[in-house]
Chain A
């Protein structure tokens, strides 16, 4: 493969493409952790989002309604985590894993029960790549952004909105207070449980969105276990980005790059070794001590009412 401008364009464009699900899922993780709840269930919520967005699109024939369906069921799955951890005080790692395991077990079953298929779903209405002629006329940037799905722009908008919400609004400040010191938050009269539920529900919606991007954004069907650990990588990105929407955005682009490298290496190295790279890279980030940043002080702490 010769290295020229074409290759560079395709690397940048596919870096952005692969970073979208990571941005969305890790952003969801931000909401969860910034409300004081661990975000280990992202993978399961994402997988649920992938499946149910396909189902929604299958029923309604509309990709946007499919997306809504995916977000809704992402939130439904997140409630398992919320109820177990917040209300019944189960260790958040265990309840997060319950969400992941439930989604892994439930999606093949539903695939079988609803579509009568195993492995993958039928093809459904998906998001089409926008055909913006005017963008192609802009040099460099136009070519890269023109290759993006409309959901890419929605994701960026969500990052900005989330940042403003968390750092510039009263509710955002209160939510962060719950994550830093739930006892103090409770003393000043905040409903700690409600904030926690809100954070987890938001994480479910955004992770569901991330999953929908994989199934009806990048492709047009659901494939078993299609999230392939991206939800776990999002957990690492969230810590890497210091639980801040902007940090998470940067981190996701960084990780998206290593995901995109797969497309370049796939003709050179055996496929299994190529598919290993994002995980190896994630481990390297952890081993270099970049993925272990401490979250807010009150994560996992409960307040007795």
Chain B
């Protein structure tokens, strides 16, 4: 019996992997059109993008450091989606977390270095979690649409943190909206000098592993999955659906908040107004590409990180648009979300192919008879 379930699971994972892989390939092919319109050779450009990102130490480090916040936001979306809630608030939670980490980093002093950085992450965890908890409360008790509430809260958090960075928290003499530099003890250790790659990547990977363990090996994880599959049945089974939804969504926001801490403690060393280039929304595609599997998120975030790092590097010398990656992300989301769409594309492609080989089949059939 257990073996059967395991097999079924393997088959399911296999098919979702194929689905993601096909979606990715189609999206990359469509991305070629954009590169072509920009006046570059698509295939050479992809070779250059992957070559720079994977073939050079700097490029590889940039890919990983670009992937770091994406792992957090991807995990955030994937985790909330386990209870079929859609966390479009990761962008705001990221900003809330970043501000919390920047405050802890700058205004708490005399702490040992590791402890200080961890405290920054804890503050970000709390800030992101509280932001998400508000949304979840609106959803559970007011039956509000969590997507809309999250998006409104995003704007509020982004404007409010921007106010803080331009007003009360702005260090004297600073031109742009930012907070005071954090203490050295709060800074994360760089893994490769002169890159942005820090120990934050380990924290991201550990978080993914913890979530995977939580979902697969604990009672709480089981309750989350049951809640996500069937609300009515889980209520009947004695699972407190409201409680599970609230905790899951708050944790999802907390994880996105940690992404903000990773940016502040590892990259910018302070809260900088408008620091996120859409990491929150990228998380949606990354989670979908990983079929909402926490470990898968690490890889899909790395993949998007490779594309980002490659286009950023190439953009310095060519005019291949950096928006290319954003478009590819959306395309991936579209194709992953609509497996039936992929199937119909594939079957149409097959029809075209089989038309040419149909005559051969006919011959085989007649000879069989």
Contact = CB atoms under 8 A, between A and B. Distances in A.
Contacts of A80: 334
Main SS of chain A's interface residues? helix
Contacts of A272: 159-160, 162-163, 166-167
A287 interface: yes
Interface residues of B, number: 41
B333 interface: yes
A236 B88 CA distance: 16
A229 interface: yes
A104 B324 CA distance: 12
Contacts of B278: 104
Given A97-B88, A270-B166, A275 B159 contact: yes
B338 A273 contact: no
Contact of B142 (A105, A235, A282, A287): A287
Interface in B101-148: 138, 142-145, 147-148
Interface in A58-76: none
B240 interface: no
A84 interface: yes
Contacts of B284: 97, 101
A275 B335 CA distance: 36
A222 interface: no
Contacts of A40: 147-148
Given A84-B338, A286-B144, A109 B333 contact: no
A122 interface: no
A128 to B, nearest CB: 31
B152 A276 contact: no
B142 A289 contact: yes
Interface residues of A, number: 43
B37 A88 contact: no
Interface in A233-247: 233, 235-236, 239
Contacts of A112: 321, 323
B324 A109 contact: yes
A229 B324 contact: no
Given A80-B334, A84-B341, A270 B163 contact: yes
Interface string A121-137: 00000000000000000
Given A91-B337, A272-B159, 14 more contacts: A94-B337, A97-B86, A102-B327, A102-B334, A108-B323, A109-B327, A112-B323, A233-B152, A270-B166, A272-B167, A275-B159, A286-B138, A292-B142, A292-B143
22 contacts: A84-B334, A90-B337, A93-B86, A94-B333, A97-B147, A97-B284, A98-B333, A101-B333, A102-B334, A105-B323, A109-B323, A113-B37, A232-B151, A272-B159, A272-B166, A276-B160, A279-B159, A280-B156, A286-B148, A289-B142, A291-B148, A292-B142
Nearest 9 Cβ contacts at the A-B interface: A105-B326, A272-B163, A109-B323, A88-B338, A276-B159, A279-B155, A88-B340, A101-B330, A279-B152
Interface of B: 34, 37-38, 86, 88, 138, 142-145, 147-149, 151-153, 155-156, 159-160, 162-163, 166-167, 278, 281, 284-285, 321, 323-324, 326-327, 329-330, 333-334, 337-338, 340-341
